[in-house]
């Protein structure tokens, strides 16, 4: 997916969000690194089960976390999955999940570098 670096992770916006507090930023990044893979798997499981309510919930949580982190592409992909759930378009959710996984694959190494 490797697109606009600011869409993947806007580090300057994240620094503003955390007031330049490196320990706060590192804690937020650490929590996201732990939680994101779990959320993606919950999204995948809800799609496989045809559970729109669980899909909406997991997608919404990931969208909020990504938005706070200033990870625009992941946020947008999660929002797309949330819309699929709300609009009962579960047939579209698998392709949206593929886009989310690609966005996460781009984001996680950037976060790991940031927290190194």
Is pLDDT of 95 > 80? yes
Residue 14 belongs to some domain of the structure: yes
Residue 116 belongs to some domain of the structure: no
> Number of structural domains, the chain?
1
- Segment among 4-8, 24-28, 99-103 with least mean pLDDT: 4-8
Q: Note down the domain range covering 89.
A: 5-110
Q: How sure is the predictor about 116, in pLDDT bands with cuts at 50, 70 and 90?
A: confident
Residues 6+ apart with CB under 8 A from 68: 17, 28
Distance in angstroms (rounded) separating the CA atoms of residues 94 and 98: 6
Residue 29 belongs to some domain of the structure: yes
pLDDT in tens, 18-42: 999 999 999 999 999 999 999 999 9
Residue 115 belongs to some domain of the structure: no
Q: Look up the CATH number of the domain holding residue 49.
A: 1.20.120.160
* pTM of the predicted protein model: 0.91
Residue 63 belongs to some domain of the structure: yes
Is pLDDT of 2 > 50? no
């Amino acid at each position: 997916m490797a697109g606009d670096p600011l869409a993947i992770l806007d580090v300057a916006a994240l620094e503003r969000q955390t007031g330049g507090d490196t320990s706060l930023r590192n804690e937020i990044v650490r929590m996201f690194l732990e939680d994101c893979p779990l959320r993606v798997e919950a999204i995948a499981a809800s799609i496989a089960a045809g559970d729109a309510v669980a899909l909406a919930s997991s997608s919404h949580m990931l969208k909020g976390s990504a938005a706070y982190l200033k990870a625009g592409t992941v946020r947008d992909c999660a929002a797309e999955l949330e819309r699929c759930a709300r609009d009962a378009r579960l047939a579209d959710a698998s392709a949206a999940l593929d886009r989310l996984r690609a966005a996460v694959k781009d984001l996680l190494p950037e976060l790991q570098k940031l927290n190194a």
